[in-house]
Amino acid sequence: MALTRLALICLLVHLCCFGVLVRSVSGAKARHFEWEVEYMYGAPDCLENVVMGINGQFPGPTIKARAGDTVVVHLTNKLHTEGVVIHWHGIRQLGTPWADGTASISQCAINPGETFVYRFKVDKAGTYFYHGHYGMQRSAGLYGLLIVDVEEGKKEPFKYDGEFNLLLSDWWHKGVHEQEVDLSANPMRWIGEPQSLLINGRGQFNCSLAAAHNSGSGGRLGCKFRGNEKCAPNILHVQPNKTYRLRVASTTALASLNLAIGNHKMVMVEADGNYLQPFSVNDFDIYSGETYSVLFHTDQNPSDNYWISVGVRGRQPGTAQGLAILHYQTTTASKLPTLAPPQTPLWNDYVHSKSFSKKVLALSGSPKPPTNKHRRIFLLNTQNRINGYTKWAINNVSLTLPPTPYLGSIKHDFSEAFDQKSPPDTFLNTYDIMRPPSNPNATYGNGVYMLKFNNTIDVILQNANALNANVSEIHPWHLHGHDFWVLGYGEGKFSKKDEKKLNLKNPPLRNTVVIFPYGWTALRFVTDNPGVWAFHCHIEPHLHMGMGVVFAEGVHLVGKIPNEALSCGLTGKMLMGEKHN
């Protein structure tokens, strides 16, 4: 009997290491994972390179849970020379702000050889993902999907027969550390456009799958993958006359994308974990940090297969489309589609992009925003110079992060840990957003926007011209710890008359939103989640170059922060002092 019990315990421990559902007597559920982060060799686009993986996988393992579950990830850093953290993108971290996974904001970086336990509740069903949030480790491949289903006994407001997940990313052959040096050089060396677009970690460099259907290949795949299935195109297997849910997440470092399925219409039903008023599209734009769910019906010729295409938007494309195959199981999977892949709209067709964005509205019955605001913050996005170095800045301040995480330093009142002067709430009304800055010089800063708890905050994201004339870039902005209502988009500089255009009736709840060139985007959120939260452009090089701000709210209400999240900078010295005492 004792031996049997011991064997059972060993089996449970073994299962726990790989991820297993544990149910308590009360019915609460926890999903445990043991993860090791390390560099490894891979060939995401058929060209061997160094990638960042988890447990030998790239992309990292997909986490599946139900709303209300607790996710527990024991993350061990197996990198030899650098720290690591993981951000759980779209998870609000209610009551667990130290688990947000932002180095120098919510926690210390996990040092080589150390383990940090992320424990948090996934409170809302939806499509999410996770990624590295230290240096530019997302560009190195540290990412994966996090799918949260509805609670047992509950149903989605739409029906489908099966589902697929697509994680979109972009890929460079130049290593991430060299990219960081390039961006920090004087003069800056721009990283250029990605070599490949990846779908679930797979792409094809210098290999035209799209042209293969005209190559006389007799329906055989026109590219050689050197026996490496890991870079062969993804194949989604479907049955005719069924409805499928396609979950799509973009963790790109730079590229804004557009997705289409050949000859198949799609219905948008979810964005960033929030239900939408359904609407039909032939294609849709997806910016870095965004997630969507779409429904499509397999109503096409069942003797054919069809391309799923992903192309670049908002930048002059120097990267070929990413491609996957929708395979009708009534024919063979190796048969190439007879129709060419759907063409991506012109990269600078912003009319197309804005039309789509304005159709994204909340499903009837969704939470509505408060009618009035307590505070409004204008955030002017500009490209600047500091001592000759090219930087991005917000209200003329380029963000630099301190060695002591804000969460611990504010909680323990270490006023010397960061600049106590609040960043500016606005910018000069005389600033001309249509031209390069008359004074391009900015300053470094690490101050924090201190927000009153349970207040309603409006943010106006204002885009402007970059350093070069006639250049204004797309910027997708992501807020940690919250969802926000997207109240509207507009052209030029936001003014009093634009307030009448704001949508308080059915604005969508999002955690990531785009500002278009020379335009503005208006957001509203409630400061109801005690913690310190990053708000930043989700383009990796832009954040690396200072394009972000930090919000703090109700930090006095935060519970005991784990020592592992405090063991650096001034808070680390405090802990060491306690141990010596």
SS3 assignment for 333-378:
CCCCCCCCCCCCCCCCCHHHHHHHHHHCCECCCCCCCCCCCCEEEE
Label the pairing between strands 519-526 and 484-491.
Answer: antiparallel
For residue 294, what pLDDT is reported? 98
Residues 6+ apart with CB under 8 A from 248: 127, 165, 166, 168, 259, 286, 291, 292, 293, 294
For residue 207, what pLDDT is reported? 73
With beta carbons less than 8 A apart as the criterion, state whether 292 and 284 touch. Answer: yes
For residue 227, what pLDDT is reported? 54
Report residue 243 as tokens. Answer: 């409805």
With beta carbons less than 8 A apart as the criterion, state whether 508 and 271 touch. Answer: yes
3-class DSSP state of 61: coil
Cβ-based burial of 187 (10 A; exposed 0-12, middle 13-18, buried ≥19): exposed
pLDDT tens by residue, 253-262: 999 999 999 9
pLDDT tens by residue, 65-97: 999 999 999 999 999 999 999 999 999 999 999
For residue 579, what pLDDT is reported? 52
Among candidate residues 332, 249, 239, 236, the one with its CA nearest the CA of residue 291: 249
Report residue 437 as tokens. Answer: 């800055």
Q: What is the DSSP letter of 100?
A: S
Mark out the alpha helices in 380-464 (DSSP H runs).
406-411
* d(C-alpha 353, C-alpha 79), whole Å: 40
* d(C-alpha 327, C-alpha 342), whole Å: 16
SS3 assignment for 476-491:
EEEECCCCEEEEEEEE
* C-alpha distance across the termini of the chain, in Å: 48
* Residues lower than pLDDT 50 in the chain: 1-18, 23-28, 212-222, 226, 580
Among candidate residues 359, 555, 579, 566, the one with its CA nearest the CA of residue 450: 555
**Residue 178: its H or E element:** helix 176-183
3-class DSSP state of 180: helix
**Residue 182: its H or E element:** helix 176-183
* d(C-alpha 436, C-alpha 470), whole Å: 8
Among candidate residues 577, 540, 562, 570, the one with its CA nearest the CA of residue 171: 540
Q: What is the DSSP letter of 557?
A: G
For residue 13, what pLDDT is reported? 35
Percent helix, strand and coil across the chain, each to the nearest 5: 15, 35, 50
Report residue 10 as tokens. Answer: 């060993």
Sign of CA dihedral 418, 422, 425, 426: negative
Q: What is the DSSP letter of 429?
A: T
With beta carbons less than 8 A apart as the criterion, state whether 516 and 474 touch. Answer: yes
Label the pairing between strands 235-238 and 456-462.
Answer: unpaired
Domains and CATH numbers, the chain: 29-149 (2.60.40.420), 162-359 (2.60.40.420), 375-574 (2.60.40.420)
Q: How many CA atoms lie within 13 A of 141 on its CB side?
A: 33
Q: Which CB contacts under 8 angstroms, 24+ apart, belong to 334-337? A: 334/219, 334/220, 334/221, 335/219, 335/304, 335/305, 336/212, 336/213, 336/217, 336/219, 336/220, 336/221, 336/222, 336/305, 337/213, 337/262, 337/304, 337/305, 337/306, 337/307
For residue 9, what pLDDT is reported? 34
For residue 578, what pLDDT is reported? 59
119 phi, psi to nearest 5 deg: -130, 120
